[in-house]
Amino acid sequence: MADTPIGPKAAKVTRNAVFTGVDIDVTGLSQRLLAEAMRLLSDLSQQGYDGDDLADRVSSGLMNLSDRPIQDAARGASAESFNLGRNLGAQKDAAAITSVIRTEFLDANTCPPCREFDGVIVDMNSDEYFRIMPPNGCDGRDLCRGFYMFLTGDEANA
């Protein structure tokens, strides 16, 4: 893939992708908080609460929200960052890496697309390499634990 950035350019692209993902997650979480605050205000106002009592109940309702979306966002950002970082590291040794294996051995709950990718060997930096790079194709996207194992010529021939 001739247009695929490597080296310093890849680091910038990767950094921008991670920041964009985090920005999307933060935006989604802030929208969730705003929507929940508006819902609480409406519901509690209709129930007759106002003033400090209304503010206290809205605050309490927001404090009792699950932090699961934050955990999921962090898990997704970590998994994607891990794989993008591994790719950047591999680009430094791309001349020595002949092929890569997509593996799913970290996860017993592998989705059907990832199960199909498990064990697939592709050439380093080929179109197929970027097409199936984890978490691409994963039904669980943010929950994907698939990754690439990079093989040098000696390892690929073993």
- Of 32, 3, 151, 16, nearest in space to 80 by CA: 16
Return d(Cα 115, Cα 145) in angstroms, integer. 12
Q: What is the pLDDT of residues 83-138, one digit of tens each?
A: 788 888 888 888 889 899 999 887 678 899 999 999 999 999 898 998 898 888 88
pTM of structure: 0.58
Q: How many residues does this entry show for the chain?
A: 158
Q: Give pLDDT, residue 23.
A: 58
